[in-house]
């Protein structure tokens, strides 16, 4: 399955020392939003944590004509094409706003009432930030996803500028879960990750960060001014990354390193781009809290996962944090959707992270 690209036994020879890693930014959960104000448009890039059916569509057996049509025919009913066992979080945003999947709508639906957001989801299951670092072709990486946005999924020549109002349009990105797995596989526990590029090694955390910055540069040039970056989650709590006792600290360090360096890079990005605002959604803290306080979110199982195979699934998916060895389950995604909306409306801090949002 796309997204489950990480071998379940990750052998890592030696542990990273945590000392050179800044702790995941507390600033992400504190402070107040700088750019509140209404949102009308949300465009989203990412991987299987976010994809609704983009990769499914490009791999499914529907006709070529259908596949090339944009706006698309609707996604198949969940869970087909989603990795969480139900609707993906961008769809939950739309559903919670009373929108319906309409034929001909872009992935995510089409608003029909004031206050509903135009949500366009370009995330692709299995994606990495940059196929030149970690090649997942033909799955479009984030920069290719941006190209798909500009070209209406390759059906027009690239638009040069955003059509919607930049002050109410938000670009969101959640990428890195697959990339981090490749780091583990490639690096085998060496401390090389923070050194400069080694051409033989296809990618470092710093390359990864410069890829996300490049993506934001591209979106900025296109006209976006409001950005949301979702942190990598604590992958050490997933079975895929966490079960190898020798490697759990390493993935934890990699995740924290990515989040901290990226937060730093985004501050720099903001200061170099007039009117740009990058908000970092504290996905790390949210999932850590779900793991450590499952009862608060209505979970009773955060160590196992629901989906073993098509014929072997749990009976109570809503009580499990994880859908499979790598992917959050549907309720976790729904809670994330609710909190991200509150975040974009200006909520911050523990107050935001706490609680199941009535889900």
Encode 128-138: b = buried (16+ Cβ within 10 Å), e = exposed: bbbbebbebee
Q: Which stretch binds ligand NAG (CB under 6 A): 3-11, 170-178, 240-248, 256-264?
A: 240-248
**Is the separation of the CB atoms in 211 and 130 below 8 Å?**
yes
Per CB under 6 A, does 267 bind ligand NAG? Answer: no
Q: How many residues bind ligand NAG (CB under 6 A)?
A: 21
Q: Could you identify the residue written with the tokens 């027009």? A: 156
- 274: contact with ligand NAG by CB under 6 A: yes
At closest approach, how far in Å is the CB of 347 from ligand NAG?
25
Minimum CB–partner distance for residue 100 and ligand NAG (Å): 26
Cα–Cα distance, 106 to 121 (Å, whole number)? 8
Is residue 236 within the footprint of ligand NAG (CB under 6 A)? yes
User: How far, in Å, CA of 208 to CA of 128, rounded?
Assistant: 9
By beta-carbon proximity to ligand NAG, the closer residue of 30 and 190 is 190
314 lies in the site for ligand NAG, by CB under 6 A: yes
Single residue of 245, 271, 310, 311 touching ligand NAG by CB under 6 A:
245
Query: Under the criterion CB under 6 A, does residue 328 sit at the interface with ligand NAG?
Result: no
The least distance separating ligand NAG from the CB of residue 115, rounded to whole angstroms, comes to 24
The answer to whether the CB of 56 falls within 8 A of the CB of 185 is no
Is 301 a binder of ligand NAG (CB under 6 A)? Answer: yes
Stretch that binds ligand NAG, among 168-176, 245-253, 256-264, 348-356 (CB under 6 A): 245-253
Supply 278's token pair.
């990058």
CA-CA distance, 1 to 100, in Å (whole number)? 28
The token pair that represents 103 in the structure block: 């034929």
Least distance to ligand NAG, CB of residue 2, Å: 14
With CB under 6 A as the contact rule, the residue among 107, 181, 242, 282 that binds ligand NAG is 242
What is the x/- site pattern for ligand NAG, positions 117-146, by CB under 6 A?
---------------x-------x------
Nearer to ligand NAG, 117 or 322 (CB): 322
**Of the two residues 103 and 161, which places its CB atom closer to ligand NAG in the complex?**
161
**Nearest distance from residue 252's CB to ligand NAG, in Å?**
6
Write the interaction track for ligand NAG spanning residues 44-73; mark x where CB under 6 A is met and - where it is not.
--------------x---------------
Is 37 a binding residue for ligand NAG by CB under 6 A? The answer is no
Q: Is residue 248 part of the contact set for ligand NAG (CB under 6 A)?
A: yes
> Is position 169 an interface residue for ligand NAG (rule: CB under 6 A)?
no
Region 62-121 residues binding ligand NAG, contact defined as CB under 6 A: none
Could you give the CA distance from residue 142 to residue 44 in angstroms, rounded to a whole number? 10
Work out how close the CB of 140 gets to ligand NAG at its nearest, in angstroms, rounded to a whole number.
6
190 makes contact with ligand NAG (CB under 6 A)? no
Closest distance to ligand NAG from the beta carbon of 312 (Å): 9
Q: How far apart are CA 78 and CA 92, in angstroms?
A: 11
Torsion sign, CA atoms 41, 47, 48, 53: positive
Binding site for ligand NAG (CB under 6 A): 58, 132, 140, 148, 154, 200, 202, 236, 242, 245, 248-249, 252, 274-275, 301, 303-304, 306, 314, 320
């Amino acid at each position: 399955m796309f997204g489950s690209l990480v071998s379940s036994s990750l052998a890592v020879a030696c542990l990273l020392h945590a000392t050179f890693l800044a702790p995941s930014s507390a600033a992400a959960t504190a402070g107040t939003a700088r750019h509140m104000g209404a949102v009308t448009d949300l465009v989203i890039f990412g991987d299987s944590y976010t994809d609704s059916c983009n990769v499914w569509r490009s791999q499914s057996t529907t006709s070529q004509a259908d596949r090339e049509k944009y706006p698309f025919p609707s996604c198949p009913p969940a869970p087909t094409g989603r990795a969480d066992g139900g609707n993906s979080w961008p769809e939950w945003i739309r559903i919670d706003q009373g929108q319906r999947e309409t034929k001909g709508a872009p992935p995510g639906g089409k608003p029909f009432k004031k206050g509903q957001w135009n949500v366009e989801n370009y995330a692709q299951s299995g994606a990495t930030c940059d196929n030149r670092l970690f090649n997942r072709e033909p799955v479009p990486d984030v920069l290719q996803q941006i190209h798909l946005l500009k070209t209406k999924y390759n059906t027009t020549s690239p638009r040069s500028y955003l059509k919607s109002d930049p002050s109410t349009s938000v670009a969101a990105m959640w990428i890195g879960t697959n990339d981090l797995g490749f780091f583990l596989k490639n690096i085998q526990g060496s401390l090389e990750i923070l050194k400069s590029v080694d051409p033989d090694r296809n990618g470092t955390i710093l390359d990864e960060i410069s890829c996300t910055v490049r993506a934001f540069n591209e979106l900025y040039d296109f006209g976006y001014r409001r950005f949301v970056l979702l942190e990598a989650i604590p992958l050490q709590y997933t079975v895929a990354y966490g079960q190898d006792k020798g490697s759990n600290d390493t993935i934890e360090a990699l995740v924290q390193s990515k989040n901290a360096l990226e937060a730093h890079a985004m501050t720099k990005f903001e200061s170099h781009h007039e009117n740009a605002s990058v908000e970092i959604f504290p996905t790390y803290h949210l999932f850590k809290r779900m793991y450590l306080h499952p009862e608060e979110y209505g979970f009773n199982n955060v160590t196992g996962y629901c989906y073993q195979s098509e014929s072997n699934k749990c009976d109570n998916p809503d009580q499990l944090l994880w859908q499979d060895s790598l992917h959050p389950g549907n309720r976790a995604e729904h809670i994330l959707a609710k909190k991200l909306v509150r975040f974009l409306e200006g909520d911050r801090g523990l107050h935001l992270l706490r609680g199941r949002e009535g889900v």
